[in-house]
A and B are shown apart, each in its own frame.
Chain A
Amino acid sequence: EVQLVESGGGLVQPGGSLRLSCAASGFDFNIHYMTWVRQAPGKGLESVAKITPDGSAQFYVDSVRGRFTVSRDNAKKSLYLQMNNLRAEDTAVYYCAQEHWFRTAYWGQGTLVTVSS
C-alpha cells in the first residue's frame, strides 16, 4: 500500500523558516517525480514544487522560487521542502504527492503551515 506521511508543519512568524518532510512507502520511490501541492484555507490547489526522480532538477511556481527548496533522499525514501522567508500568503495545507505523467494518484494527508505574528 502506498503511503505518504508529511510532518514539520506548524506556526511560524513572517520571515521565518520551516522544513517539511514526507516519508514514502509502498512504491519504488527512486523512480518517481515527487511534488508538493498546497491549499490555502478555503482556496484551491496549487502545485508549489516538483523534483525529478534522481533529484537533479527542480521546478517551482513563481511565487516561491528563490524562497523554497525541494529535495529528496532516495535512500531514506523521503521528500523535503525547505521554506524560507515565509509570508502570510504561504499559509496552507501542504500535501506531498507522487506525480506520474502529470497526474497525482497518491497524496499524503497534508500538514498545516500557518504564517502569522
Chain B
Amino acid sequence: QSGLTQPPSASGSPGQSVTISCTGTSSDVGGYNYVSWYQQHPGKAPKLMIYEVTKRPSGVPDRFSGSKSGNTASLTVSGLQAEDEADYYCSSRGVSDNVMFGGGTKLTVL
C-alpha cells in the first residue's frame, strides 16, 4: 500500500500559476478517474478542492483545476492568492477499493 508521490514543495508569486503533480501507478491514479485534491491550512481539517480528476465542489474557486495524464495527476492553481498558501494532498482509489494519499506538497505564495 505505497502512497502517491508529490513534490514536497512548490511556490509562486501572487497572480502566477503553479502546478502540483501526483504520480502513482496503473493500479491507482492511472487506473481510475477517482483522483481528489485537498487543501489543508495549519491546524485545520483538509478541504476537498477537486474530485474525480477535474470536478470542483460547490464554493471552490475556478482558479483551481485538475487534470490527469497516464499515471500522473496534476492540480493547477491560477491567479495565486495569499490564502492559497497551504498544504495540498492528492488521493486516489487504489486496489481493493482503498484510498491512498500522496505525501503532500507545501505551497508557498512568495
Pair A95/B45 contact, Cβ less than 8 Å: yes
Interface range on chain B (Cβ under 8 Å from partner)? 20 to 34
Q: Please, how many residues of chain A have a CB less than 8 angstroms from a CB on the other chain?
A: 21
From A45, A61, A102, A107, give the contact of B34 (CB < 8 A): A102
User: Restricting to B12-67, which residues have a CB under 8 Å from any CB of A?
Assistant: 32, 34, 36, 38, 45-48, 51-52, 57
Report if A101-B1 is in contact (Cβ < 8 Å); known contacts: A44-B103, A59-B96, A108-B45: no
Q: What residues make up the interface of B, taking CB atoms closer than 8 Å to A?
A: 1, 3, 32, 34, 36, 38, 45-48, 51-52, 57, 89, 91-93, 96-104
Question: What is the total of A-B residue contacts with beta carbons within 8 Å?
Answer: 63
Q: Is A62 an interface residue (CB 8 A)?
A: yes
The answer to whether A61 and B57 touch (CB under 8 A), given A103-B51, A107-B46, is: no
Contact mask for chain A residues 31-47; partner B; CB cutoff 8 A; 1 contact, 0 none: 00001010000001111
Smallest CB–CB gap between A93 and chain B, Å?
9
Contact B99 A102 (CB under 8 A): yes
Contact A35 B45 (CB under 8 A): no
By DSSP majority rule, is chain A's interface helix, strand, loop, or mixed?
strand
A59 contact from B89, B97, B104, Cβ within 8 A: B97
**Given A45-B104, A95-B45, are A61 and B89 also a contact pair (CB < 8 Å)?**
no
CA distance A59 to B36 in the complex (A): 19
In the complex, the answer to whether B57 meets A105 with C-beta atoms within 8 Å is yes
Q: Are A44 and B89 in contact (CB under 8 A)?
A: yes
Shortest C-beta distance, A76 to chain B (Å), equals 22
State the Cβ distance, A27 to closest chain B Cβ, in Å.
Answer: 15
Q: Chain A residues with Cβ under 8 A from B3's Cβ?
A: 44, 46
In contact, B34 and A101 (Cβ under 8 angstroms): yes
Answer whether A45 and B93 are a contact pair too, CB < 8 Å, given A59-B98, A103-B52.
no
Shortest distance between the CB of A95 and any CB in chain B (Å): 6
